[in-house]
Amino acid sequence: MDFSGFLVQLLNGLAGASSLFLVAAGLSLIFGVTRIVNFAHGSFYMVGIYVAYSLVMHLEDSLGFWPAIVLAAVLVGVFGALIEIFLLRRIYHAPELFQLLATFAVALMVRDAVLWFWGPEELLGPRAPGLEGAVEILGRQFPEYDLFLIAVGPVFLGLLWLLLTRTKWGTLVRAATQDRSMVSALGVNQAWLFTAVFALGAALAALGGALQLPREPANLEMDIHIIGAAFVIVVVGGMGSITGAYIAALLIAELKAICMWLGLVEIFGFEISFSKLTLVVEFLVMAVVLIIRPWGLLGRAPSAGHNANAGEMPLIPASKAFKIGAAILVLFLVATPEIFSDFPYLTVLLNDILIASLFATSLYFIMGPGGMHSFGHAAYFGLGAYGAALLVKTLGVPMELALVLGPVVAGIGALIFGWFAVRLSGVYLAMLTLAVAQIVWAVVFQWDDFTGGSNGLTGVWPSKWLSDKTTYYYLTLGLTLVGILWLRRVLFSPFGYAMRAGRDSPLRADAIGINVKRIHWYGFVYGGIVAGLAGSLFAFSKGSIAPETLYVNRSIDGLVMVLLGGMQNLMGPIVGAVSFTWLHDTVARNTDFWRAMLGGIILILVLLFPLGIAGTIKQVVEHFSRKSAGSAQAGRAS
C-alpha cells in the first residue's frame, strides 16, 4: 500500500473514466431529448471497438490508426441514425417501456450480427502509434496511452459544452430537453433533431469503445457490461447533465481504483476484500445518491404537478365465457402429461412456463396496477430460490417447509428494499431496483462459504414423493394458480383500488386520505413474495441454483414477458411468459443465432402489436363486440 501504487491506481481510474464518460454522455443526450431509455446503447460501444479493429487491421497502412478510430465512431453514428429513422420514429408515441423493449430487441440482433461477422473469439488490436511506451511515475511504469485517455475526458467535456451552449443546434437540444412540445410549436423539425442527437450519442458510445482497442480485447460481453455502468453514471450525475455524467464517471472510476489498491484489509480482526467491491461499487454509489438526492448530483428536481398518467379503464370482473375458457385451459394443463406421455420434455417445458408466468405476474402486479417500474425484480426471485435452497442444505429443513419459507425470505427482502424504492418514481425507481438487485447478486456471487459463490448450490432436490417430474409439475401448477389467483383477488380488493388510485393520481389519492407510499410499499412486498414463490419452485425443479438466477438478465426477461403480453390486464404477463419462454426454447434449439431471431420476433410484435399480444387480442374482441352490438341495434331499429 505505498503511495506510488496508490497514485498509479488513481491514474488508471482517470483513464477508465474517459471511456465511461463518452458512453454515458451519449446515453444522457439521447434520453434527455428523445426520452427513450436506450438499452441498445451498449451495442454501439461494442460495435465501435469491433469496427475499429477491422479498420485498423485492414486499412492501417493506407488510412492510419487514428483516422480509423474516428471513422469507426462516424460509421456507428450513421448506423445509430438509421436505427432511429427506420425504427424508433415509429414508436415515439408508444409507452416508454415498449420503447425499452424495442431497443432490447435491437441489442439482441446486434449482438448476434457481431457474432456472425467477427466470430466468438476475442480480438485484441495493436498499440496506438506514438503511444506504445510508458513513463516512470514515482518508480512505476505507467502507459503513455492511458495518459492520453486521461486527457480525452476533459477535452470532450469541453467540446460538448461548447456544442450545447455556443451553437444554435445546441440551444435546440437544450430546449428539447426542457420542453419538446414548445420546440415543435416553434417550427423546429423535431424528427431530424432527434436523428442528429441519436447519431451523436451513438458516435460517442462507439468512440468510447474504439478508444479501448489498445487496452482490452473486443468481446461479445462488452455491451451488457457497459450499459449497466452507463445507466448508473447518467442517474448519479443527473439526467441530461453532461457535466454531472463526467463527475459521476470520475467518482465511480476512482472508487473502483481505490478498492483495487486497498485489496485485502484486516479491520478489527476481520479480513475485508475491497477488491471484490469493484463488482458492485457503482451500484452502491447509485443507491446512496438516489436515496439522498433522487434526481442525481447535478440533475434538476422534477417540477411539482399532477401525475401524467391518464389512468386505465376500471378492472372488469371476468365474464362467464372467460371463466369457462380458463377452466378448460386448466383441465387441459392437468391432462397434458397423460395426453403427451410420449413427449416427457413437454412436461419440463410446461413447468418452466408456469414458473415464468408466476414470476411475470408478480412483476406486472407492481408495474401495472402499482405503476412502479422495476429493473431488478430478479432479486426477489433469487432470494426465494436461495432462501429455500439454503434452508434445505444448511439447516436440513424439509423441502415442503422450505418451499413455504422461501417466499417469506423474498418478502422480507422486498419489505426492506421496497421502503427505499417507493420513495422514488419513474426511471429513478427503476434504477434503484437495479442497484439493489446487483448488490444482492454480488453478495451471493462472492459469499463462497455460504451461498457457494459462483458455483452456486447443487443437490437441491424435492422430497421423494415429488421426485417424479409429472408429480412436481402438478405441484407447480397448483401453486402457480394459487399465486396468480391471490394477486387477482388483491387487485379487486379495496387495497388494489387504492394502489391504482395512487398510481393514476397520487395527489388526489393523498387528498382523500390514502397513504400512497405505504400502499405501494405493501404492494411491492406482495409482488416480492409471489416472485419468491416462483424462485423456490425453480430451485427444486432444477435441483441446483446459481447466481445467474438473480442477475440482471432475468429481470430483463421478466420485463420482456410483461411488455410482450401487455399491461392492460392480468392475462397479459401470462400470455407474455408463455410466448417468450416457448419462443426462447424453440429458437435456441434450432439456431446458433437465436438472439437475433428472438429479437426480430420481439421487434415485429412491438411494431404490429403495441398493446402487447393480450392487449391486442382484447382490443380486437371488443371491436367486433361493438360492431355486432351496433348491427343488432340497427336490425331492431329497422
On whether both 339 and 213 belong to a single domain, the answer is: no
Number of other CB atoms surrounding residue 603 within 10 Å:
20
On whether both 326 and 234 belong to a single domain, the answer is: no
- Which candidate, 185, 237, 242, 189, places its Cα nearest to that of 30? 242
On whether both 343 and 446 belong to a single domain, the answer is: yes
pLDDT band at 307 (very low <50, low <70, confident <90, very high): very low
d(CA 396, CA 463): 12
- pLDDT, position 56: 92
Domain boundary among 214, 240, 266: 240
Residue 233: all three cell numbers together: 453514471
On whether both 96 and 233 belong to a single domain, the answer is: yes
Number of other CB atoms surrounding residue 147 within 10 Å:
16
- Whether 56 is in a domain gets the answer yes
SS (H, E, C) 296-319: CCCCCCCCCCCCCCCCCCCCCCCC
Return all residues near 319 (Cβ < 8 A) that are at least 6 apart: none
- pLDDT, position 614: 80
- pLDDT, position 217: 92
Contact between 172 and 188 (Cβ < 8 Å): yes
CA angle 16, 18, 19 (to 5 degrees): 75
DSSP 267-306: ETTEEEEGGGGGGTHHHHHHHHHHHH-TT-SSPPPPPP--
What's the domain range around 172?
A: 18-240
- Whether 309 is in a domain gets the answer no
- Whether 306 is in a domain gets the answer no
Q: How far is CA 65 from CA 22, 57, 59, 211, 215, in A?
A: 20, 9, 8, 11, 14
- Whether 101 is in a domain gets the answer yes
pLDDT in tens, 56-78: 988 877 788 899 999 999 999 99
**For the chain, how many helices (H) and strands (E)?**
25, 6
Residue 219 phi/psi, 5-degree rounding, is -150, 165
On whether both 409 and 514 belong to a single domain, the answer is: yes
Q: What is the mean pLDDT of the chain?
A: 87
Q: Please state the rounded mean pLDDT for residues 348-353.
A: 93
d(CA 608, CA 604): 6
- Which candidate, 467, 470, 466, 464, places its Cα nearest to that of 334? 470
Contact between 550 and 444 (Cβ < 8 Å): yes
- pLDDT, position 637: 65
Return all residues near 609 (Cβ < 8 A) that are at least 6 apart: 566, 615, 616
- pLDDT, position 638: 58
Query: Tell me, what amino acid is at 209?
Result: G
Q: Which residue has the higher pLDDT, 313 or 405?
A: 405
Contact between 205 and 44 (Cβ < 8 Å): yes
On whether both 584 and 440 belong to a single domain, the answer is: yes
d(CA 385, CA 444): 12
d(CA 117, CA 365): 41
Q: Please state the rounded mean pLDDT for residues 535-563.
A: 90
- Whether 634 is in a domain gets the answer no
Kindly tell me the burial class for residue 511, based on how many C-beta atoms sit within 10 Å of its own C-beta (0-12, 13-18, 19 or more). exposed
pLDDT band at 530 (very low <50, low <70, confident <90, very high): very high
On whether both 233 and 324 belong to a single domain, the answer is: no
Domain boundary among 218, 240, 262: 240
Query: Tell me, what amino acid is at 345?
Result: Y
- Total tally of structural domains belonging to the chain: 2
pTM for the structure as a whole: 0.87
Alpha carbon 39 to its chain's center: 8
For residue 510, the 8-state DSSP code is H
Contact between 480 and 355 (Cβ < 8 Å): yes
Domain boundary among 182, 214, 240: 240
On whether both 324 and 236 belong to a single domain, the answer is: no
pLDDT band at 571 (very low <50, low <70, confident <90, very high): confident
User: What residues form DSSP beta bridges with 267?
Assistant: 270
CATH number, position 532: 1.10.3470
- pLDDT, position 308: 44
